[in-house]
Amino acid sequence: MDFNFTEEQSMVRDTVASFLQDKYDFETRRKIVASDSGWRADYWKAFAEELGILGASFSEDLGGLGGGAIDNMIIMEEFGKALVIEPYLGTVVIGGGFMKHSGYAGAASVIEGIIGGSTTIAFAYAEPQSRYTWRDLKTTAKKDSSGYILNGHKAVVVGAPFASHLIVTARTGGAQRDTGGVSVFLVDKSLPGIVTRDYPTVDGGRASEVYFENVSIPADALIGGEGEGLPLVDKVIDEATAAVGAEAVGVLRKLHENTLDYAKQRKQFGTAIANFQVLQHRMVDMFINVEQAVSMTYMANIKIDEDAATRAKAISSMKVQIGRACKFVGQNAIQIHGGMGMTDELAIGHYFKRASIIEGLFGSVDHHLKRYESLSFDAAA
Amino acid sequence: MNLDFSPEDVAFRDEVRAFIAENYPAGLREKQEEGEEMAKEDFLAWHRVLANKGWVAPAWPEKFGGPGWTSVQRYIWSEETARADCVPILPFGINMVGPVIYTFATPEQKERFLPKTLSGDIWWCQGYSEPGAGSDLASLKTKAERFTGDDGKEYYLVNGQKTWTTLAQHADWIFCLVRTDPTAKIQEGISFLLIDMKSPGVTVRPIITLGGEHEVNEVWLENVKVPVENRIFEENKGWTCAKFLLAHERSGIAGVARSKRGIERIRAIASTEMSDDGENLLADPVFKRKVAELEIDLTALEYTELRTLAGEAAGKGPGPESSVLKIKGTEIQQRITELVLEAAGHYGAPYFRGFPNDGDNAHPIGPDFAHRSAPHYFNVRKTSIYGGSNEIQRNIIAKMVLGL
Ligand SMILES: Cc1cc2nc3c(=O)[nH]c(=O)nc-3n(C[C@H](O)[C@H](O)[C@H](O)COP(=O)(O)OP(=O)(O)OC[C@H]3O[C@@H](n4cnc5c(N)ncnc54)[C@H](O)[C@@H]3O)c2cc1C
Ligand SMILES: Cc1cc2nc3c(=O)[nH]c(=O)nc-3n(C[C@H](O)[C@H](O)[C@H](O)COP(=O)(O)OP(=O)(O)OC[C@H]3O[C@@H](n4cnc5c(N)ncnc54)[C@H](O)[C@@H]3O)c2cc1C
């Protein structure tokens, strides 16, 4: 039994933590969120060059530091604590994940771009009608002489305004909800026919509606086998969910810690409100939620490379725990802050907002409960 | 036991329904449907229509300008206005300070303030909370010291800071709790003072909340000169008015009729939004179960409110039982916003101040209901905090009802 991190992993964590402490305090983040671009391209460069963290989860022969999911987990947790906006999830975890698992011919050079900071990726998978069923696709990619013609509409593509490339799911065959016929493409965002409507998101990020209007993409944009993309998509989304679980852990720790601090210092009725037993028990329950979320996140990240069914079950059980914790810890953090919790001024509300979005990201509690049920009951029957 | 409406009540309901249909300002309806933020004039437009009709203050006694309705008629009124999605009448004048004035004030004060409160010519805000005095309201520090002015008249010199003052940016007058005797026991040195917002020394600063709204403010009072005749009730006896007002504040807070509308809206949304299975959300057993549970909880609350109303009709004032209505009412309001956000799926995330799809109809951003779903979910967290937090309500029930 060993839940300890390796020396390298501890170093990555300390490097990230100290950078964020110096350069990503809450006031700085507020400015980033309010700025025209909505992110710090120079920080991204620093992640690549100064900190070297963009390569932490790639193998050494690809130019990385030789880590994997646990490194992503460590980094995402620190990013959660600082509410980092920059597109690590889309670029490294998701973009990198597709490159690692697909056998894509151009993978090495794309990964080089990711590690070096020049390639940023957003994942265009959801559609207005799809909800959390990723195979429900109206977007099509039709073969033509030079490659494929892409048509469709992708919903709430997080990080798209900062992205140089999009990873797009589209139908090369089959009906709208078939398991077969799903293909995955790496698409240069500057291609003609790609229309985006960019907007802020409630948690301080940026996203786009992305429309493909007869976009001509080369044949080598296809990642993985034509029409065989769904298992790959499932795997990468599971990895992304595991990483988001780690981000949630960072957010949850801050929600809890800030609430404890506030309750100890806020006086009403001549005493710190932390002395009211009902609030103590609430903060104890928040603590239990956080600790359970941490355990589940470790579990899920450890099982990430097992067979698809084991992995899926681990991820879904984690996401149920994370989703519930986000709601319980988030709502109570606001409640215990009283009126101060409702202000835009304090960080607590911003952690709550991120927690609320994470609750539904890559599937709500209900979605993952159903997935868990079908994996653990239906399969046995 | 008989809960059916009498023929008179049914006739009353039809009259109310017809009145709303004919008189609710069309411009307001449009603004609401477009999800636009309400301006001061928007709130006042409907207020004035009702004031002219004599219906703006359903709970006031007739001699002060109330319509003389029974509690059943008032219940019908709140059902019908919610059913028609009318903008709410702001509570500060009608539900809060008005009853304090007609109960505790002098005849001159009643004459001076009640008609203008009814007509909407005075917009009131509530100056109770302070940075150090939230749940522990009695610990407030804003000072009011008596002095004789150059004109030979008696004044208070008021200094302090109020906070969380809802819509103070629009207000003409603020009703404040101030400390007039710093040496007395904390509840016994407080007075209830009305202050003209145009007085020199009053400064209003916005506080922006989670959903990006400017709804609450800080109000700074620096050497504000307030005539003694603006004090309601006796000096140092303001706590009596304060508690009376809080009981009234809580009784309207259950919001049953509006929550019913909220659930109807969820049903409408869920009948068009897709579930994971590619059917509509109302066909989804899990979502359906949550809506059903919410409806059942709301029905329980409704009958609890009806029992309270019946008690009031029998002459029992709103007692500590109103805390039950506050706790359950706000929890249900919050769960409604959670379900709407869940129904929005991915489209809960985009954030817009205005109406996003006006600019580019060719490339719409999600369904209309989704745009305000997350900010609204964030904003409605306030209901379990204000009006006496739900923890404080539970303390009240423990102490006053259960004798713990
Ligand atoms: C099935 C069973 C097996 C047991 N086995 C053992 C055993 O093997 N060895 C042994 O030593 N004891 C045993 N106990 C006894 C048990 O430890 C006590 O019942 C327990 O500590 C509670 O004490 P009490 O019954 O006096 O209740 P009280 O202490 O009177 O508590 C009554 C209620 O008040 C609550 N309460 C009390 N204080 C507070 C507080 N400060 N804040 C909030 N809530 C509070 C409690 O949670 C409880 O709900 C057993 C009890 C049961 C029911
Ligand atoms: C949107 C909004 C609008 C408002 N509008 C107005 C207005 O117009 N006018 C006005 O005067 N005020 C207004 N308020 C203020 C509101 O009444 C206070 O926020 C409320 O009374 C709580 O006080 P507080 O914020 O200082 O929290 P605190 O009193 O600091 O409470 C913090 C936490 O501690 C808990 N707590 C405190 N004491 C106890 C206890 N004894 N036992 C258990 N738990 C306890 C609380 O429940 C809460 O969870 C508004 C507040 C909000 C958020």
Chain B CB contacts of A129 under 8 Å are: 274, 278
Rounded mean pLDDT, B341-365? 83
Closest to A187 in 3D by CA, of A159, A212, A224: A212
Mutation test residue for ligand 2: of B386, B392, B396, the one with most atoms within 8 Å of CB: B386
Which residue, of B35, B70, B89, is where some domain finishes? B89
Asked if the structure places residue B158 within a domain, the reply is yes
pLDDT of residue B353: 74
Say if residue A246's pLDDT is above 80: yes
Cβ count near B348 (within 10 Å): 26
Say if residue B178's pLDDT is above 90: yes
Residues B298 and B372 reside in one and the same domain: yes
CB contact (8 A) between residue A335 and residue B384: yes
Q: Are A54 and A90 in contact (CB under 8 A)?
A: no
Residues B222 and B278 reside in one and the same domain: no
CATH number for the domain harbouring residue B261: 1.20.140.10
Mutation test residue for ligand 2: of B380, B389, B394, B395, the one with most atoms within 8 Å of CB: B389
pLDDT of residue B308: 83
Asked if the structure places residue B147 within a domain, the reply is yes
Rounded mean pLDDT, B54-60? 95
Q: Tell me how far the alpha carbon of residue B325 lies from the centroid of ligand 2, in angstroms.
A: 18
Residue A350: closest C-alpha in chain B? B210
A345, A352, A367 member nearest B276 (Cβ) = A367
pLDDT of residue B362: 77
For residue range B194-208, list pLDDT tens digits in order. 999 999 999 999 999
Helix ranges (DSSP H) in B105-178: 107-119
Which residue, of B209, B236, B263, is where some domain finishes? B236
- Residue percentage of chain A with pLDDT more than 90: 96
Q: Answer whether B208 touches A (CB < 8 Å).
A: yes
Residues B34 and B132 reside in one and the same domain: no
pTM value is 0.94
Rounded mean pLDDT, B123-140? 97
Retrieve residue A335's tokens. Answer: 């409640």
The backbone torsions φ and ψ at residue A225, rounded to the nearest 5 degrees and listed phi first, read: -75, 145
Report helix, strand or coil for A56.
coil
Domain ranges in chain A with CATH number 1.10.540.10 = 7-120
Asked if the structure places residue B247 within a domain, the reply is no
Which bound ligand lies closest to the C-alpha atom of B174?
2
Q: Are B170 and B40 in contact (CB under 8 A)?
A: yes
Say if residue A381's pLDDT is above 60: no
A 155-174 near B (Cβ less than 8 A)? 155-156, 158
Mutation test residue for ligand 2: of B95, B128, B135, the one with most atoms within 8 Å of CB: B135
* B322-344 vs A347-360: helix crossing angle, rounded to 10: 60
Give nearest CA residue, ligand 2 atom 44: B391
Q: Are B75 and B313 in contact (CB under 8 A)?
A: no
Q: Answer whether B38 touches A (CB < 8 Å).
A: no
pLDDT of residue B1: 57
CA distance B208 to chain A (A): 6
Give nearest CA residue, ligand 2 atom 25: A339
Rounded mean pLDDT, A303-326? 97
For residue range B268-292, list pLDDT tens digits in order. 999 999 898 888 999 999 999 999 9
For chain B, helix, strand, coil in percent to 5 are: 55, 15, 30
The C-alpha angle A58, A229, A136, rounded to 5 degrees, equals: 125
Assign a CATH topology to domain A7-120. Butyryl-Coa Dehydrogenase, subunit A; domain 1 (1.10.540)
Mean pLDDT lowest for which of A223-227, B354-358, B397-401? Answer: B354-358
Residues B300 and B271 reside in one and the same domain: yes
Domain ranges in chain A with CATH number 1.20.140.10 = 231-380
Pairing status of strand A165-171 against strand A222-223: unpaired
Residues B281 and B395 reside in one and the same domain: yes
Q: Are B156 and B226 in contact (CB under 8 A)?
A: yes
Residues B138 and B80 reside in one and the same domain: no
Say if residue A322's pLDDT is above 60: yes
CB pairs under 8 A between A and B: 138
Q: Are A88 and A55 in contact (CB under 8 A)?
A: no
Q: Which residues touch A380 (CB under 8 Å, ≥6 apart)?
A: none
Chain A CB contacts of B392 under 8 Å are: none
Q: Answer whether A381 touches B (CB < 8 Å).
A: no
Q: Which residues line ligand 2 (CB under 6 A)?
A: A 266, 268-269, 273, 276, 278-279, 335-336, 338-339, 342; B 126-129, 134-135, 164-166, 216, 382, 385-386, 389, 391-392, 395
Residues facing B224 on adjacent strands: B158
Q: Which residues touch B9 (CB under 8 Å, ≥6 apart)?
A: B72, B73, B76
Chain B CB contacts of A339 under 8 Å are: 129, 134, 163-164, 216, 385-386
Residues B393 and B282 reside in one and the same domain: yes
* B5: confidence class by pLDDT, cuts 50, 70, 90: confident
Q: Identify the domain containing residue B362 by its residue range.
A: 252-402
The DSSP output letter for A228 is B
- Greatest alpha-carbon span in chain B: 79
CA distance B123 to chain A (A): 23
What is the Cα–Cα distance from A331 to A316, expressed in whole angstroms? 22
Say if residue B250's pLDDT is above 70: no
Asked if the structure places residue B96 within a domain, the reply is no
Domain ranges in chain A with CATH number 2.40.110.10 = 122-229
Say if residue A248's pLDDT is above 60: yes
pLDDT of residue B211: 87
* B4: confidence class by pLDDT, cuts 50, 70, 90: confident
CATH number for the domain harbouring residue B174: 2.40.110.10
Chain A CB contacts of B140 under 8 Å are: none
Asked if the structure places residue B99 within a domain, the reply is no
Burial class (CB in 10 A: 0-12, 13-18, 19+), B199: middle
Q: Answer whether B135 touches A (CB < 8 Å).
A: yes
Which residue, of B211, B236, B261, is where some domain finishes? B236
Residues B390 and B265 reside in one and the same domain: yes
Domain count, chain B: 3
Domain A231-380 class, CATH top level: mainly alpha
CA distance A21 to chain B (A): 24
Closest to A43 in 3D by CA, of A62, A67, A17, A23: A23
Rounded mean pLDDT, A304-330? 97
Q: Which atom of ligand 2 is nearest to the CA of A266?
A: 30
Judge: domain A122-229, CATH 2.40.110.10: yes
Closest to B96 in 3D by CA, of B271, B247, B284, B280: B247
Say if residue A107's pLDDT is above 70: yes
pLDDT of residue A270: 96
* B352: confidence class by pLDDT, cuts 50, 70, 90: confident
Residues B131 and B192 reside in one and the same domain: yes
B164, B216, B365 member nearest A199 (Cβ) = B365
Asked if the structure places residue B31 within a domain, the reply is yes
Q: Are B207 and B218 in contact (CB under 8 A)?
A: yes
Rounded mean pLDDT, A246-253? 98
* A253: confidence class by pLDDT, cuts 50, 70, 90: very high
The string of DSSP codes covering B329-381 is HHHHHHHHHHHHHHHHGGGGSB--SS-GGGT-TTS--S-GGGGGHHHHHHHGG
Asked if the structure places residue B18 within a domain, the reply is yes
Asked if the structure places residue B109 within a domain, the reply is no
CB contact (8 A) between residue A202 and residue B378: yes
Residues B83 and B144 reside in one and the same domain: no
Query: Is the backbone of residue A103 left (phi > 0), alpha (psi -120 to 50) or beta?
Result: left
Say if residue B113's pLDDT is above 70: yes
Rounded mean pLDDT, B133-144? 97
* A233-243 exposure pattern, b = at least 16 Cβ within 10 A, e = fewer: bbbbbbbbbbb
Mean pLDDT estimate for chain B: 93
